[in-house]
Amino acid sequence: MLYELRIYDVNQGKMKVIQNRFRDHVIPLFMKHNMKITQFWEDSDEANNRLYYVVEHADLAMRNLNYDRFRNDPEWIELKRITELDGALVNKQKSIFMKNVAFFGNK
């Protein structure tokens, strides 16, 4: 299993909008494309304006295929357009890829 920690630097004033977009639309779209969000956080220091979440993938090849399908989904394209009419929600995005270590009982 491959775990992807995605870190979003959210544009000022857009945190609630992006959280609503995830809650109401993106999480179901991810599931449609075989991507499972297992954890979701907001930075405890609001000044950082960061959102974090972990997505499980079978492996890197499946991750790339699923994200490609997601990004080209007409529903996502329209949702992104509509939710960003007043400007982009994310200033910068970073991904960190992780895997379990053998000595620790991760499930």
Q: Range of 53's domain?
A: 2-98
Residues 99 and 22: their CA atoms lie apart, in Å, by 24
pTM of the full structure: 0.89
Give Cα 13 to chain centroid, integer Å.
19
What CATH number does residue 39 fall under? 3.30.70.100
Instruction: Classify residue 104: in a domain, yes or no.
Output: no
The pLDDT tens digits for 36-62 are 999 999 999 989 999 999 999 999 999
Instruction: Classify residue 103: in a domain, yes or no.
Output: no
Q: What is the pLDDT of residue 102?
A: 82
Instruction: Classify residue 107: in a domain, yes or no.
Output: no
Tokens encoding 100? 């379990």
Domain count, the chain: 1
